[in-house]
Chain A
Amino acid sequence: AQKITQTQPGMFVQEKEAVTLDCTYDTSDPSYGLFWYKQPSSGEMIFLIYQGSYDQQNATEGRYSLNFQKARKSANLVISASQLGDSAMYFCAMLGVTGANSKLTFGKGITLSVRP
């Protein structure tokens, strides 16, 4: 079974500063993928970044980067130069593939508030 753990309470960051959102995972699968999604108050799920378990380099997408530490089973999201629009709920999720099936297992999320 796959498990995603996000234990941080609500996070606060000053505008223009960097923030790290923690995610640890557990799986027995040799191949897996890790996603981060942003969910603003309007409710939609916005894809931010993806890291494959065999990727040699940490993923980056603009201001988002993923600090992937495979041995520690962690996949923390780093947001640089925070903006007010970054205030939202952030979910870490793991992709599991078995045969022809795939599904995402989500963590419970972290609320980020960016202060002006």
Chain B
Amino acid sequence: EPEVTQTPSHQVTQMGQEVILRCVPISNHLYFYWYRQILGQKVEFLVSFYNNEISEKSEIFDDQFSVERPDGSNFTLKIRSTKLEDSAMYFCASSEDFGQSGYTFGSGTRLTVV
């Protein structure tokens, strides 16, 4: 079964450093997303991406965050200057259409900012 692949599975970084989280969505999917889950809390929407541009972003997704699809397969989330409160599990997801046929989530990247 096709899956969304995220790397790395764990990342520890120092406060103020830049991190790039990587995702390979399912190949025939057109819509891509990043979600965040702070430990013990609910999953929160960060950003959606379609046709090589951001289609929607939440208020969490401030100027420190950016997304990119640098080639035909990868989808990345960059945090320019990490803060302690950025520590969370970050999930990439993709969908074939608007999501009615289901979102597929990756297994997540656990980011720890120290």
Please state if B105 and A37 are interface contacts (CB–CB under 8 Å).
yes
Q: Which of A76-109 contact B (CB under 8 A)?
A: 91, 93, 95, 97-98, 100-109
Which residues of chain B are near A47, meaning CB under 8 Å?
Answer: 102-105
Count residues on chain A whose CB falls below 8 Å from chain B CBs.
26
Complex-state Cα separation, A108 to B95, whole angstroms: 23
Please state if A109 and B99 are interface contacts (CB–CB under 8 Å).
no
A18 on interface, CB distance cutoff 8 Å: no
- Chain B 89-109 against A: per-residue CB contact (8 Å), 1 yes, 0 no? 101000100111011111110
Contact of A107 among B42, B95, B103 (CB under 8 A): B42
Count of CB-CB pairs between chains A and B under 8 Å: 64
Nearest B residue to A108 via CB reads B42
Contact of A102 among B41, B43, B91, B98 (CB under 8 A): B98
Complex-state Cα separation, A35 to B95, whole angstroms: 14
B52 on interface, CB distance cutoff 8 Å: no
Complex-state Cα separation, A109 to B43, whole angstroms: 9
Give me 18 other A-B pairs in contact (C-beta within 8 A), A101-B55, A108-B41 excluded.
A42-B107, A43-B107, A43-B110, A44-B105, A44-B107, A45-B91, A45-B105, A45-B108, A47-B104, A50-B102, A52-B100, A91-B42, A95-B98, A102-B95, A104-B35, A104-B45, A104-B99, A108-B42
